[in-house]
Structure 1
Amino acid sequence: MGKTSNLISSTQSVIHEALDMLGFDEGMYDLIKEPERLLKVRIPVHMDDGSVKVFTGFRAQHSDAAGPTKGGIRFHPDVTEEEVIALSMWMTLKAGIVGLPYGGGKGGVICNPKELSDKELEGISRGYVRAISQIVGPAKDIPAPDVYTNAQVMAWMMDEYSVKHSDNAFEFITGKPIVLGGSQGRNTATAMGAVICVEQALLKRGIKIGDARVVVQGFGNAGSFISKILYDKGAKIVGVSRSTRALYDPNGIDIDYIIEHKDKVDVAKELDLEVVTNEELLELECDILIPAAIANQITVENAGRIRADIICEAANGPTTQEATAILTENGKLIVPDVLASAGGVTVSYFEWVQNKQGYYWNDEEIHELLVRKMKESFDEVYRVHDTRRVDMRLAAYVVGIKRTAEAIRYRHWA
């Protein structure tokens, strides 16, 4: 709880600074610093053993001034109210950075999906939608997948909402299976968005992707996809981490082999890789460091030892504010999380648009739209960073919060 509370306070601090730079007053900050709505729900589920277990869930809606709120739902034993609040605020920033007509939302249920059957997971999914149904909808709040939720969970949720409203409400939720109105490119969207940002950062630094040495911390969905895409583009992946240890080879790692044999214990021995700690991984010599694991990985303690020229934050909140200042002072180019991980919400927006119009784009069209959005967004953040002489995180917050603040001003809410 303490770490999450720190994430909230540090996010509020940067939002405050961004609003000051944009010329908004304290009344605007007072409205934006917390979610407009926070709902806590109790979800009764009939378990396989015949018992009834009650699960706790949350839905935070940060701001709907610029449009319906948008954000994922995570199923995890460590979900907290504070975490959901922080994530909803970041979703507002992400939507603003890529110019989407959304505010930020986020949801979660305290549970461990690894210990639940499909029937029990379906019960939680449908029960959650019933519990939050009064505050969600295609023009109110549009959920999506997040940690330990997937297309099947979204399908159950969409079906439950449709039953309640007696229609096929495909546009209620994104990240669905293709046959239920899902979009091409959604599964890899977050990773692809980060890769596009890496490519733009490399251009700013004058480094060719074929010459780039990359370290990726975290090898879940985001980390593995990012590693694979960059590897296929010719980059040299010199370090990757798994749950308890990291692998290093200055000559480059065979990512295809790592992915294919990710459950093998002796993969390091087979490929003759050096085993290092996750802490040591962050400080390896490389051109690009991609934290794609958990929050607070680069801190005041290790920021001065980071050797990467570019840090692209694929995880939420991997770098503290104090570390951001040190890295910026040392000439590092940071691609902040609210920009680097905006590919997911961007393709979710494309899915919502396709659902609303009943016309669907192919994978190539989705990719072209995503590339255009992410390049434009990176360039806008970099322009603010360059012209205002501020770090990339503050620049991203300035771009990200501007849309919501202006919508609030025009609506005369503050």
Structure 2
Amino acid sequence: METTRRSLLQAGAAAATATATAGLPWRPARAQAAGPIRIGVLTDMAGPYRDINGPVSVACTRLAAQEAARLGLQVEVLVADNQNRPDVALNITRQWYDRDGVDAVVNITSSAAALAVAELSREKNKVMLATSPATSDLTGRACTPNTVHWVYDTYMLANSTGGATVKAGGTSWFFITADYAFGHSLERDTTRFVQANGGKVLGAVRTPFPGTTDFSSFLLQAQASGAKVIGLANAGTDTVNCIKQAAEFGMTRRGIKVASLLMFLPDVHALGLPVAQGLVCTETFYWDLNDRTRAFAQRARALAGQVPISMIQAGEYSATLHYLKAAADLGLAAAKADGAATVARMKAMPCDDDAFGPGRIREDGRKLHPAYLFEVKKPEESRGPFDYYKLLQTTEAEQAFRPLGEGGCPLIRA
């Protein structure tokens, strides 16, 4: 476990970002009376998900904390590496809640860790902002009044990328699945959309996580199945390695489609356009969507450096900023005392920020915003650094995610 230094962000630190938060309410007396609010970034600083989380996620969280200074807030950001292990994530979070006075955790990295931390956050009445985990169970059977699930989930990915791939002729599938909660959930949800659109699943193989770097035997099993589509129910460096190795085997030249069910801009950057061109993926944030996303990316890169920004990292900013708006609106003393009440206030307030634009949080804790289906550009189509995507279709917020009544969330009354 690696814990970095704490960073106390005073109200004056946001002067450079005043324009971005000019419309925020000003409540210095009530907010500062309760002392600093503490947010823990529980992330992957050195493992397979580092590039899509890691230091850039920390920078985006700190950007939100700086901009929230106009709310009269002092925010302390703590950082820890959970090593993508649920037991490590649980131990760190318990220490943060019991010893360090942390009020909310953000990121959490993996679905297995998030399911454990969600229950602990409910028990301790704190706030969990799940921006990196994918499992749709966080707003289904495992939903709690203390959890908000931001950015994306396995249902949305299956709905957008999976559904579009089947409709484009990918009617038979073989899954290469990371063997933990996220991979299982993504395979399950994608199977549903494949079958609903008239396709069929010919098989699947589970790959150990973490630690798998050689996917050749799994890819050869997929090829031998005769499936038209190899569905990658994995993420991060696992996805990058699968795509590279499939290209080395010449699978795409033989007409096999590799469906990257969860791919991020940093993954495309790691692959390079000559390898990644033509791949299709779904994201809920892209830095070059509009003027607001470009403005956010410019501010984020001032802290993080000239790097590609993933939707998870943008989600750190968006979720943290909305949480802090709700805490200021509720009052810091009340927000620090009652995580469930703070989440209820987050649900009651409309969301709006430069990364994701307007949206809302549903009763089951699902943050709603549009989903975008992208195709990776050819090298000659790119105009400059990180100009990697062209937009194929937009799924509006209310249609992108699982219908409220279908998830089995115990918070929803029939």
TM-score category, normalised to shorter length: 0.3 to 0.5
**TM (normalized to structure 2)?**
0.45
**TM (normalized to structure 1)?**
0.45
- Greater helix share, structure number: 1
